[in-house]
Amino acid sequence: SPSCKRWIRAEALAGTRQERPVLRSAIVSEGHQDSQIRWAAKVLLVDQLDRTLLFRGRDPARPMSGTWWFPPGGGLDDGETPEDGARREVREETGLHLAELGPIVHHRTAEFSFGGRTFLSEEDYFVVRVEHFEISREEWTDLEREVVDEHRWWPVAELETTSEVVYPENIIELCWRFT
């Protein structure tokens, strides 16, 4: 597997886990009682050229809703910690085996529809420095093969000017602040 290095600024690691700075954001409508809660872990992989790996996907149940870019990661399995889920998701979606992640640097709550269902997603984010690598789709599920149109190593500076839809909304701040 590709070699992996991790750099996280010292100020992001000060104190105990509960004292570490965790950025928070929320996009939730008032009527989310019918939403299925989804616990998730996402990882912003940033390479030595300050590019972050993103996937462009779409909702097959709503083809007119367009596409959006998002980092590797996804829903947690029962009993899985955010750290273990993040490692598993990165391995499944990219082929990269991550030994360490560092702390959770962001928590996002978002409500969205996908596949005809509404989700209230509670997402924990990690930022990890890696050497550039080519992704593997070997462990992709049928659903991932259906909904992910492409992947790209986006220069973080280019994300500042794109008109594309990119999640999380504060991806630029997270990439610059924690790498």
pLDDT in tens, 36-92: 888 999 999 999 999 999 999 999 998 888 999 999 999 999 999 999 999 999 999
Number of Cβ within a 10 Å radius of residue 47: 17
Q: What secondary structure letter does DSSP report for 84?
A: H
HSE, side-chain direction, 13 A CA sphere, residue 2 = 17
pLDDT computed for residue 57 by the predictor: 96
pTM: 0.81
Q: Does the pLDDT at position 24 exceed 80?
A: no
Considering Cα of 80, then 81, then 83, then 85, what sign does the dihedral take? positive
Q: Does the pLDDT at position 14 exceed 60?
A: no
Residue indicated by tokens 């550039």: 132
* Burial group, residue 40, by CB count within 10 angstroms (0-12, 13-18, 19+): buried
Say how far apart CA 21 and CA 18 lie, in whole Å.
8
Q: Does the pLDDT at position 33 exceed 90?
A: no
Q: Which of the four pLDDT bands, split at 50, 70 and 90, describes residue 151?
A: very high
Q: Does the pLDDT at position 131 exceed 80?
A: yes
What tokens appear for 170 in the block?
Answer: 């504060």
Q: Residue 155: CB partners within 8 Å, gap ≥ 6?
A: 49, 50, 51
